[in-house]
Structure 1
Amino acid sequence: MKKAVTAKKSSATKTEGASPSKLIDGRIRELGDWRGEMLARVRGLIKQADPDVVEEWKWRGVPVWEHDGIICTGETYKEVVKLTFAKGAALADPTGLFNSSLEGNVRRAIDIREGETINEKALKTLIRAAVELNASRKKPTKR
């Protein structure tokens, strides 16, 4: 007779009734290490760069920031916090923040490792550029 095995769900993946912002708060608390601190830091920078940003929770537990479309996602892995910009290949990156997913035609990512700092001014500029790009591609509403 086989015994049923159930996977333990993390508190951040229990989505019933919780707002995306609360779920992101939960993920940050749940991580409880440098990754949580970094995710909280970049989240704050995103909100500073675009006060009208909308937080979402997609794909079974990925924080997503949107404004007229996806700006970026904030994934956490064992070794990195990864900010993936949905249309990153179309964004100018004069300071070289993008250091991952460089081979694709659409996305670009920033991998942040423990102990690394991020150029806050350059990240905010990149966020604003992503918002502008999304707004420029927004379909006009029908009357």
Structure 2
Amino acid sequence: MKKAVAAKKTSTKDATGPSPSKLIDGRIKELGDWRGEMLTRVRGLIKQADPEVVEEWKWRGVPVWEHDGIICTGETYKEVVKMTFAKGAALDDPAGLFNSSLEGNVRRAIDIREGEKINEKALKALIRAAVELNTSKKKPAKKPGKRSA
């Protein structure tokens, strides 16, 4: 008897649970302060920069935006809203938006504090660059293996 195997989804959404977008809406409402407002603003900028973005909800409550891989996350802490770009170290940042997690070899982050202004044009450019990196053919090629006869 064959057993059906379902494709693994990256979303935490199941058949009965709310969608990732609804969970993000809930987080924003739950915060109810400047962090919720900032998360809403960042979310809107991400969607403007990439209308094909997919929202996910991972790691027990972290909003994630994806397009052929993770673009960035939107974590909320007491003092900051942190946008962590999964492949940020590989992105050009001419406006100097990255101000956190600078020591790593892969990720880079932007910590946004209460009252800070966002350079919307530069942030959208960074998001588009992350999407371009995810969708590019620059992914490592698999080394051909030896075939046995």
Tell me whether the two structures share a fold, i.e. TM-score over 0.5: yes
Q: Note if 1:84 corresponds to 2:81.
A: no
Q: TM-score, normalised by structure 1?
A: 0.85
Q: Using the aligned pairs only, state the percent identity.
A: 88
How far off is 1:67 after superposition? 0.1
How far off is 1:52 after superposition? 0.1
1:29-68 deviations in whole A, cap 9, x for unaligned?
0000000000000000000000000000000000000000
1:68-107 deviations in whole A, cap 9, x for unaligned?
0000000000000000000000000000000000000000
Q: TM-score, normalised by structure 2?
A: 0.82
Which stretch of structure 1 is more off in the superposition, 16-25 or 97-106?
A: 16-25
SS of equivalent residue, structure 2 residue 97: coil
**CA distance in structure 2 between the partners assigned to 1:33 and 1:107 by the alignment:** 27
Greater Cα radius of gyration, structure 1 or 2: 2
**CA distance in structure 1 between the partners assigned to 2:118 and 2:112 by the alignment:** 8
Question: Which residue of 2 is the match for residue 43 of structure 1?
Answer: 43
Contact 1:68 1:138 in 2 (8 A): no
How far off is 1:138 after superposition? 5.5
Question: Which residue of 2 is the match for residue 10 of structure 1?
Answer: none
In the alignment of these two chains, the number of paired residues is 127
**CA distance in structure 1 between the partners assigned to 2:111 and 2:140 by the alignment:** 31
Amino acid corresponding to residue 59 of structure 1 in structure 2: W
**CA distance in structure 2 between the partners assigned to 1:67 and 1:133 by the alignment:** 10
Amino acid corresponding to residue 42 of structure 1 in structure 2: V
Task: Kindly report the root-mean-square deviation, in angstroms, between the aligned alpha carbons of the 2 structures.
Answer: 1.7
How far off is 1:130 after superposition? 0.1
- From the superposition, tell whether residues 139 and 55 of structure 1 become closer, same or farther in structure 2 (CA, over 3 Å): farther
Structure (1 or 2) with the greater helix fraction: 1
**CA distance in structure 1 between the partners assigned to 2:58 and 2:68 by the alignment:** 16
How far off is 1:139 after superposition? 8.1
